[in-house]
């Protein structure tokens, strides 16, 4: 059973050596189903609305002292988007200026292959979640560093797909 309450407060928050918060995010993704219910090659990603406005982004939040970076990524995806899945290898680390505090934050992004989408989740009444194409997500995402992470994910999936096709050809030969 998933926890239905978001963590709050900053007492367990991690900070880097420059005093900036360390935040962790996920790009939840899946492959769109065709009309017959079969998985297609078309990638969809899940964005969520900001708590404080109508901007869209990928789920992200503070990395806390009592969790690994991967656990934080899972928690944020559950709290903000209501999805569970497989966390994959980190897409990268970015430094960006906090709009509110004017200092550099450290952001880590992970892909999450979504296995389950919950009907009820901690921030259901605070956020909207929307599945969309990669192109649409790239247009609407309000953070440049998340767009870069999305580009890395797409490239990684394309390379992996091409490698898989080459392996299948070699198996046939």
Lowest mean pLDDT among 33-37, 44-48, 128-132, 164-168: 164-168
The number of domains in the chain is 1
**Mean pLDDT throughout 27-39?**
88
Nearest to 55 by CA among 5, 118, 99: 99
Is pLDDT larger for residue 20 or for residue 102?
Answer: 20
Q: Is residue 10 part of a domain?
A: no
Dist. CA 20–CA 132, nearest whole Å: 31
**Residue numbers of the domain that contains 97:** 22-172
Would residue 28 count as lying in a domain?
A: yes
Q: What's the pLDDT band for 38 if we cut at 50, 70, 90?
A: confident
To which residue do tokens 């978001």 refer?
A: 6
Q: Which helix (H) or strand (E) holds 17?
A: none
Q: Identify whether 15 is part of a domain.
A: no
More confident residue, 159 or 56: 56
In the predicted structure, residue 170 carries a pLDDT above the cut 50: no
Q: Domain for residue 100, yes or no?
A: yes
Answer whether residue 44 is part of any domain: yes
Residue 4 lies in a domain: no
Q: How confident is the model at residue 64 (pLDDT cuts 50, 70, 90)?
A: very high
What confidence tens digit (pLDDT) does each residue in 88-110 have? 999 999 999 987 778 899 999 99
Compute the distance between CA of residue 141 and CA of residue 144 in angstroms, rounded to an integer. 8
> Is the pLDDT higher at 154 or at 171?
154
pLDDT in tens, 127-143: 999 999 999 999 999 99
Does any domain span residue 126?
yes
Report the CATH number that the domain containing residue 85 is assigned in CATH. 3.90.79.10
In whole angstroms, give the CA distance from residue 165 to residue 161. 6
Looking up tokens 């709050």 gives 8
Locate 101 and state its tokens: 């505090």
Residue 88 domain flag: yes
Q: What is the model's pTM?
A: 0.86
């Amino acid at each position: 059973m998933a926890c239905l309450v978001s963590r709050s407060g900053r007492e367990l928050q991690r900070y880097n050596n420059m005093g900036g918060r360390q935040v962790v995010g996920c790009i939840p993704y899946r492959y769109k189903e065709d009309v017959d219910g079969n998985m297609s090659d078309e990638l969809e990603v899940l964005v969520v609305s900001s708590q404080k406005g109508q901007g869209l982004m990928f789920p992200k939040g503070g990395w806390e002292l009592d969790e690994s970076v991967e656990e934080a990524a899972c928690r944020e995806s559950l709290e903000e988007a209501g999805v569970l899945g497989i966390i994959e290898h980190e897409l990268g680390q970015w430094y960006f200026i906090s709009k509110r505090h004017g200092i550099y934050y450290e952001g880590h992004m992970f892909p999450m292959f979504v296995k389950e989408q919950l009907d009820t989740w901690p921030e259901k009444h605070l956020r909207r979640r929307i599945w969309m194409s990669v192109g649409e997500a790239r247009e609407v995402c309000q953070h440049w560093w998340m767009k870069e992470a999305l580009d890395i994910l797409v490239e990684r999936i394309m390379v992996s797909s091409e490698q898989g096709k080459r392996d299948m050809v070699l198996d046939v030969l």
